[in-house]
Amino acid sequence: MKKIAVLALAAVAGALCTPAFAQFAKPEDAIKYRQSALFIMAQNVGRIGAMAQGRVPFDAKVAADSAATAEFMSKLPWSAFVDGSQKGSIPTRAKPEIWAEKAKFDGLSEKLQAEMAKLNAAAKTGNLDNIKSAMGGVGAACKACHDDYQAKL
Amino acid sequence: MKKIAVLALAAVAGALCTPAFAQFAKPEDAIKYRQSALFIMAQNVGRIGAMAQGRVPFDAKVAADSAATAEFMSKLPWSAFVDGSQKGSIPTRAKPEIWAEKAKFDGLSEKLQAEMAKLNAAAKTGNLDNIKSAMGGVGAACKACHDDYQAKL
Residues in A touching B4 (Cβ below 8 Å): 139
B50 reaches A (C-beta below 8 A): yes
Beta-bridge mates of residue A94: A150
Closest approach of A11 to chain B, Cα-based (Å): 9
Is the pLDDT confidence value at A2 over 80? no
- Weakest mean pLDDT among A43-52, A75-84, A132-141, B22-31: B22-31
Backbone phi and psi for residue B30, each to the nearest 5 degrees, phi listed first: -65, -45
Residue A148 CA from chain centroid, whole number: 17
d(CA B23, CA B99): 18
Summarize the confidence of residues A88-97 as an average pLDDT.
97
Helix (H/G/I), strand (E/B), else coil: A55: coil
In 3D space, the residue among A119, A120, A149, A151 whose CA is nearest the CA of residue A135 turns out to be A119
If one compares A126 and A6, the residue with the highest pLDDT of the two is: A126
The ipTM estimated for the assembled molecules is 0.87
The residue-averaged pLDDT of A83-91 equals: 96
SS3 B150: strand
Q: Does B8 touch chain A (CB under 8 A)?
A: yes
| Total length of chain A | 153
**Residues on chain B touching A39 (C-beta within 8 angstroms):** 32-33, 36
Would the CB atoms of B55 and A10 count as touching at under 8 Å? yes
Q: What are the chain B neighbours of A140 within 8 Å (beta carbons)?
A: 1-2, 5
C-alpha–C-alpha distance, residues A18 and A50, integer Å: 43
Least Cα distance to A48 among A29, A32, A67 occurs for A67
pLDDT value, residue B23? 85
How far is residue B30's CA from residue B21's CA, in Å, rounded to a whole number?
9
Contact A136 B2 (CB under 8 A): yes
Name the nearest CA neighbour of A108 among A69, A147, A67, A151.
Answer: A147
Residue type, B56: V
Mean pLDDT of A11-24: 53
Angle (nearest 5°) at CA B99 between B93 and B105: 80
Is A103 in CB contact (< 8 Å) with chain B? no
Name the DSSP letter for residue A89: S
Q: Is pLDDT at B66 greater than 90 in this prediction?
A: yes
Confidence of residue B6 (pLDDT cuts 50, 70, 90): low
B151 interfaces chain A, CB cutoff of 8 Å: no
d(CA B141, CA A9): 12
Q: Which positions 73-92 of B are in contact with A (Cβ < 8 Å)?
A: 76
Cα–Cα distances (Å) from B22 to A44, A128, B19, B49, in that order, read 12, 19, 6, 36
Q: A37 vs B40: CB contact, 8 Å cut-off?
A: yes
* Range of lowest pLDDT (A85-94, B4-13, B133-142): B4-13
Averaged pLDDT, A30-52:
98
Contacts of B122 in chain A (CB under 8 A): none
Instruction: Identify the pLDDT of residue A7.
Output: 58
Give A98-153 pLDDT, tens digit per residue: 999 999 999 999 999 999 999 999 999 999 999 999 999 999 999 999 999 999 99
Strand partners, A150: A94
- B124 pLDDT band, cuts 50/70/90, is very high
